[in-house]
Structure 1
Amino acid sequence: MVKHFGWTWIGTVCSDSDYGNNGMASFLKAAEEEGICVEYSEAYYRTQPRSKLKRVADVIRKSTARVIVAFVAAGDMRFLLEELSQQPPPPMQWLGSEAWVTDPQMLRFSLCIGAVGVAIPRSVIPGFRNFLLDLSSEQAVKFPLLTEFWENSFSCSLKQQTGSSTAMPACNGTEDLRALHNPYTDTSQLRVTNMVYKATYAIAHALQGIVCNEKRDKCDKNIKVEPRQTLWPPMNL
């Protein structure tokens, strides 16, 4: 896209993680080959000190490049935009990676108006929404993560804390997930999730083809499977 629009003077920022650093390294290599000049290349991660985030924001504000490529995770991008909003830079053209450019949470930042980027196609997983909504309080209480989700969503406690004046009221079993409107119940933006779904089924079918191939009368669940056997075409190692 940078080459297509003829932008030859840009800035870049990425998440200081495997995702961001590896993605940006590939981009910078391609940019050099295309004769695209990079004024600055910054990296940060949301758990790093705020002073680091402020420094990155200041670099962006003081730069002369008006196009910025952001290979950033959504959580990191939100922190950066919040910091930039404190003292907005001149209008910029953002180019985003798939991790944040389609995130609805970014719509509240006017800094992103006109951003373009790449995205994984949106899809619907049959039956997935009903599966999520079938979660009950009895199931949620068995898993710490689901317990936290349930209590935060309904402002009630699945496990009452005795002796605490700040304890939330006990959940009474009338909580209804279908009445919620949050990222958990929103299955209209399944992008990465759908890729995981397809990858899981691809591996499952590959394993079934190995343990239940046509040469056997029945499936051999005790067979030892080598990772390379699940690839197609098969690897001859």
Structure 2
Amino acid sequence: MVKHFGWTWIGAVRSDSDYGNYGMASFLKAAQAEGICVEFSEAYYRTQPRSKLERVANVIRRSTTRVIIAFMHTGDIKFLLEELARQPPPPLQWIGSETWITNPDILQYNMCAAAIGFGVPQSVIPGLREFLLDLTPSKALQSPLLTEFWESSFSCNLKGLTGVSEVMRECDGSEDIHTLQNPYLDTSQLRITNMVYKATYAIAHAIHGLICNGTQCDKTIQFSPWQV
């Protein structure tokens, strides 16, 4: 994309994680091969000290490039954009990675109004919303994760632990998951989720092919990961 638009003087920021570091390393290698000059390459992760965030923001403010590549997690770039908003730099052309470029929450930052990037295709997973809406208190209790989800969503104590009810009411059965409006039930923007869904089925089909012959399956068969 940078090559397509003829941008040869750019800046780069990334999440200080495997996602950001490996992704940016691949980009910088390709940029060098194309003769694209990188004024700066900075990294930040949301749990790092505020002084690090301020330093990265100041590097962007002082830079002479007007094109910024941001290979970052959504949570990380939100921190960066909030910091930049305190003292906005001149107008910038942002190029985003797939984790944040399609996130509607980023639209609240005016400096990203014209951001561009590649996104994972939006998809529909048939039956997923119905599956999520099938969650009940008894099913939630079977999983610590779902128990935590249920209690935080309805602000009630599902486990009936002594002492907890003093600060959180006990769930009384009137809680209706159909009334919730949160990301858990939003199946309208499934992108990376669908990739995970397909990857899981790909592995399942591969294992099935290793242990099954027609309709006969032997789950005791030993095999190596590379065979999958």
Say whether the fold is shared (TM-score over 0.5).
Answer: yes
2:203 aligns to what SS in structure 1?
A: helix
Which letter maps to 1:102? T
Which letter maps to 1:86? R
Match status 1:49 vs 2:16: no
For 1:79 and 1:64, locate their aligned partners in 2 and report how far apart those are by CA, in whole Å. Answer: 22
For residues 3-152 of structure 1, the aligned pairs below 5 Å read 3-152=3-152
Match of 1:224 among 191, 198, 222: 222
The verdict on how the C-alpha distance between 1:165 and 1:192 changes in structure 2, with shifts beyond 3 A counting, is closer
| More helix by percentage | 2
Per the TM alignment, residue 165 of structure 1 is displaced from its structure 2 partner at its CA by: 8.9
Per the TM alignment, residue 27 of structure 1 is displaced from its structure 2 partner at its CA by: 0.4
Q: How many residues align?
A: 228
Per the TM alignment, residue 85 of structure 1 is displaced from its structure 2 partner at its CA by: 1.5
Which letter maps to 2:196? V
Which stretches in structure 2 are left out of the alignment for 5+ residues? none
For 1:86 and 1:159, locate their aligned partners in 2 and report how far apart those are by CA, in whole Å. Answer: 44
Identity %: 67
Which letter maps to 1:229? Q
Match status 1:175 vs 2:175: yes
> Do the aligned residues in 2 keep the contact of 1:129 with 1:187 (CA within 8 Å)?
yes
> Do the aligned residues in 1 keep the contact of 2:94 with 2:116 (CA within 8 Å)?
yes
Which stretches in structure 1 are left out of the alignment for 5+ residues? 231-237
Structure 1's consecutive aligned runs of 4 or more residues displaced over 6 angstroms after TM superposition are none
Per the TM alignment, residue 168 of structure 1 is displaced from its structure 2 partner at its CA by: 2.2
Which letter maps to 1:129? R
Aligned residue in 2 for 1:233: none
1:57 aligns to what SS in structure 2?
A: helix
For 2:165 and 2:227, locate their aligned partners in 1 and report how far apart those are by CA, in whole Å. Answer: 58
